[in-house]
């Protein structure tokens, strides 16, 4: 039995890692080619390559569910084609027992993926984005930077070109009156967070009155804001690149500001439930190997796996966007696809004799 467990473990683990490596290589190549079209200032070929390599943990985390699905289809497909799966069943292992042995390496990979997504991806994505933003603009970091982001705080709309630890580069602030009339604009070349406040440098701005405008310039100033380095480390990244606890913290902050937090809550629940959905897809793949895909070609198995993965991915995205439009509960929008996938896999596997 120990030999069979090790054999099935390797049959799933090795193809999954191989598929993940191929997907990473292809995505890295296309990503590098895409970055070459953005070369400017100090952002040259080596910086573009560094950016692609730095973002690879995030890419691996994104591709892992698909890699596990295709690896399972490949590994079990090879065993089915060579007749080894029939021998394993003849040794007394039921499809459900084989499924459990197959799921174990998949669970290990998904657990590693969750740890990478929680502790590695947020850091690497933040480093990659800040380095690219600074390199793209050189010393002339303004709101035109491609990698910048917008944020609202009370009556202010703020654009930040780049964030580097506790330092901001290229901050543009727009402050409005209660009647939505523009009251003040300000540009800050650099700001450093010390003693609970932002100490800014090279500040220029304009105050707008009914009959006149008042320009001003300061070498140094202090900016009081609820934005902290911890909060900025969340804002600069897409929700899918954040740790679960950070997504929840920022969603709570948005609700305190009276802003819409649905996108972040949806991302939170989708990331939390993704392992269950992936296990459901694996169960569906296993049921296909024992059923309709038992004697078909490897190409058809791969095509089936790719189609199944794409249907789930785009179906989940569609339901998520619909939930945001119609103000559906984010938990429900994330739970329905995962539950359908998991229960479908269990049902299909239960029909195999």
Q: What is the mean pLDDT of residues 150-179?
A: 86
Residue 93 domain-assigned (yes or no) = yes
In which domain, by residue range, is 41 found? Answer: 2-119+262-350
Position 53 pLDDT exceeds 50: yes
Comparing 24-33, 38-47, 71-80, 145-154, the range with the smallest average pLDDT is: 145-154
pLDDT greater at residue 345 or residue 267: 267
Q: What does residue 138 show for φ and ψ, rounded to 5 degrees?
A: 65, -130
Do residues 101 and 273 touch, judged by C-beta distance below 8 A?
no
- Clarify whether residues 52 and 13 are in a common domain: yes
Comparing 229-243, 284-298, 305-319, the range with the smallest average pLDDT is: 284-298
Q: What is the mean pLDDT of residues 301-328?
A: 80
For 316-342, the pLDDT digits (tens) are 888 888 888 888 899 998 898 888 888
Do residues 301 and 322 touch, judged by C-beta distance below 8 A?
no
**Residue 144 confidence (pLDDT):** 46
Q: Quickly count: other Cβ atoms within 10 Å of residue 88's Cβ.
A: 18
- Clarify whether residues 112 and 150 are in a common domain: no
- Clarify whether residues 217 and 314 are in a common domain: no
Show which of 207, 227, 247 is a domain's final residue. 227
Show which of 227, 252, 286 is a domain's final residue. 227
CA–CA dist 254, 235 (Å, integer): 11
Structure tokens at 25: 């290589």
Residue 247 domain-assigned (yes or no) = no
Do residues 283 and 348 touch, judged by C-beta distance below 8 A?
yes
Residue of 290, 277, 259 whose CA lies nearest to 319? 277
Specify the residue for token string 């596990």. Answer: 68
* Residue 299: strand pairing partners: none
CA–CA dist 44, 67 (Å, integer): 32
CA–CA dist 330, 337 (Å, integer): 12
Number of domains in the chain: 2
Under the banding of pLDDT at 50, 70 and 90, the label for residue 297 is: low
**Residue 65 confidence (pLDDT):** 87
**Residue 145 confidence (pLDDT):** 47
pLDDT greater at residue 228 or residue 25: 25
Q: What is the mean pLDDT of residues 218-240?
A: 83
301 Cβ contact list (under 8 Å, min separation 6): 73, 74, 77, 288, 289, 293
Position 154 pLDDT exceeds 90: no
Show which of 206, 227, 248 is a domain's final residue. 227
Residue 240 domain-assigned (yes or no) = no
User: Could you tell me how far CA 47 lies from the centroid of its own chain?
Assistant: 22
Q: What is the mean pLDDT of residues 336-352?
A: 82
Position 143 pLDDT exceeds 50: no
Q: What's the DSSP call for residue 215?
A: E
Q: What is the mean pLDDT of residues 246-267?
A: 84
For 97-121, the pLDDT digits (tens) are 877 888 888 889 989 998 998 889 9
Q: What is the mean pLDDT of residues 142-169?
A: 76
Residue 96 domain-assigned (yes or no) = yes
Position 255 pLDDT exceeds 80: yes
Residue 248 domain-assigned (yes or no) = no
Residue 234 domain-assigned (yes or no) = no
Residue 242 domain-assigned (yes or no) = no
Residue 181 domain-assigned (yes or no) = yes
**Residue 146 confidence (pLDDT):** 52
- Clarify whether residues 219 and 146 are in a common domain: yes
- Across the chain, what does the average pLDDT equal? 83
């Amino acid at each position: 039995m120990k030999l069979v467990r090790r054999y099935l473990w390797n049959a799933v683990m090795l193809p999954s890692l191989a598929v993940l490596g191929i997907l990473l290589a292809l995505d890295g190549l296309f990503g590098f080619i895409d970055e070459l079209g953005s070369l400017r200032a100090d952002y040259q070929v080596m910086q573009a390559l560094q950016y692609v390599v730095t973002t690879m943990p995030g890419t691996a985390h994104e591709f892992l569910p698909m890699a596990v699905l295709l690896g399972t289809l490949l590994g079990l497909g090879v065993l089915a084609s060579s007749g080894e799966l029939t021998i394993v069943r003849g040794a007394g292992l039921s499809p459900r027992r084989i499924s459990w042995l197959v799921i174990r390496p998949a669970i290990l990979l998904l657990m590693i993926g969750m740890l990478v997504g929680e502790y590695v991806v947020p850091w690497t994505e933040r480093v990659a984005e800040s380095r690219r933003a600074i390199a793209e603009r050189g010393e002339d970091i303004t709101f035109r930077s491609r990698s910048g982001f917008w944020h609202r705080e009370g009556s202010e709309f703020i654009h930040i070109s780049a964030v580097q630890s506790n330092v901001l580069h290229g901050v543009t602030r727009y402050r409005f009156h209660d009647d939505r009339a523009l009251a003040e604009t300000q540009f800050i070349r650099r700001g450093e967070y010390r003693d609970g406040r932002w100490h800014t440098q090279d500040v220029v701005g304009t105050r707008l009155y009914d009959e006149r405008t008042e320009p001003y310039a300061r070498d140094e100033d202090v900016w009081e804001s609820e934005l902290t380095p911890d909060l900025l480390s969340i804002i600069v990244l897409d929700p899918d690149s954040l740790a679960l606890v950070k997504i929840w913290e920022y969603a709570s902050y948005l609700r305190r500001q009276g802003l819409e937090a649905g996108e972040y809550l949806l991302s939170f629940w989708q990331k939390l439930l993704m392992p269950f959905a992936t296990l459901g897809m694996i169960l569906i793949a296993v049921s296909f190997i024992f059923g309709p895909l038992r004697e078909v070609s490897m190409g058809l198995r791969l095509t089936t796996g790719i189609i199944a993965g794409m249907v789930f991915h785009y179906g989940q995205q569609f339901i998520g966007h619909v939930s945001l439009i119609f103000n559906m509960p984010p938990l429900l929008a994330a739970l329905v696809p995962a539950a359908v996938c998991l229960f479908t896999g269990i049902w299909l596997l239960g029909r195999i004799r």
